[in-house]
A and B are shown apart, each in its own frame.
Chain A
């Protein structure tokens, strides 16, 4: 690859003064992102821990309450996020191969899929609000015969809400990437922001991969 892009290798305006070369800078950024992802895992970890503790206390509550969640739309959303992960991976591949157009198209598709995810989420939420399934104190739904049903939905809203927030942040980041890509900031010698945003997006996908069976697929 170094042979094909010898001219581009010279473009080093992205290199910051305290790094020795692009490579050191790239590896540092990636390491930094991985460390950040570790903090993300523990951030969600707190919610998962709350989930597990309450599930171990009230297993029957989880079986009853999860029937209120729509498995079909949950599965569709899982597919949507996996698809968007695929397109992000394709976007990085395009950047690595210097195909800026491919990069931009793949980012567009990813953004679109992320919006689809959010729209489905929106309909799921409004449906629940309509039934009176609010978190905690404001819970008024009477379809579940369990006194702690409000707690299950508090956990549900916190988990999916914080995850949704991450999706929104991801959308923002990718819009920013599209702008930068259009300005020609990325090439095969420098695509660090694409790579680390990609890592972030895959993590958001991984979190959902766990949320889906834990929330929707309890019998």
Chain B
């Protein structure tokens, strides 16, 4: 918390993180070349994206060294997004129409 202790990443480390992200990008494109059956292709794509986002948040945005409260905010917003979509799907996926919709 003190002004004297802001984490400073080394240039080498930052480059390492960047390269890891490039590799993950190539990977996420590469997995579409091998046909993974539904719905696992979506799962894999999202999983890689989540890993990339976590890496960016932790090492570029310095959450790894930062106050835990900031991490909590990030997680909380993701959680509330999932609430929005999760509960909305409870409706949209389970609608029973008396006649098939048009």
Residues of A bordering B, CB below 8 Å: 1-2, 21-23, 26-27, 30-31, 34-35, 37-39, 41-42, 45-46, 48-49, 52-53, 56-57, 59, 71, 75, 78-79, 82-83, 85-86, 88-90, 93, 96-97, 189, 198-199, 202-203, 205-206, 209-210, 212-214, 217, 219
Are the CB atoms of B29 and A209 closer together than 8 Å? Answer: no
Within 8 A of A (CB), among B1-21: 1-4, 6, 8-9, 11, 14-15, 17-18, 21
A208 to chain B, nearest CB (A): 10
Indicate the size class of the contact surface on chain B: 35 or more
A93 interface neighbour in B8, B61, B67, B92, Cβ under 8 Å: B8
Are the CB atoms of B85 and A52 closer together than 8 Å? Answer: yes
Are the CB atoms of B25 and A75 closer together than 8 Å? Answer: yes
Q: Which residue of B lies closest to A41 (CB)?
A: B77
Interface SS of chain B: helix
Residues of B bordering A, CB below 8 Å: 1-4, 6, 8-9, 11, 14-15, 17-18, 21-22, 25-26, 28-29, 32, 35, 38, 41, 45-46, 48-49, 52-53, 56-57, 60-61, 66-67, 69-70, 73-74, 76-78, 80-81, 84-85, 88-89, 92-93
Are the CB atoms of A89 and B89 closer together than 8 Å? Answer: no
- Beyond the given pairs A2-B4, A71-B29, 18 more chain A to chain B contacts, judged by CB atoms under 8 angstroms and listed by A's residue number, are A1-B4, A23-B1, A26-B3, A31-B70, A34-B73, A37-B73, A38-B76, A41-B78, A46-B84, A53-B89, A57-B92, A96-B6, A198-B61, A202-B56, A202-B60, A205-B60, A206-B57, A213-B49
A67 to chain B, nearest CB (A): 12
Are the CB atoms of A23 and B2 closer together than 8 Å? Answer: yes
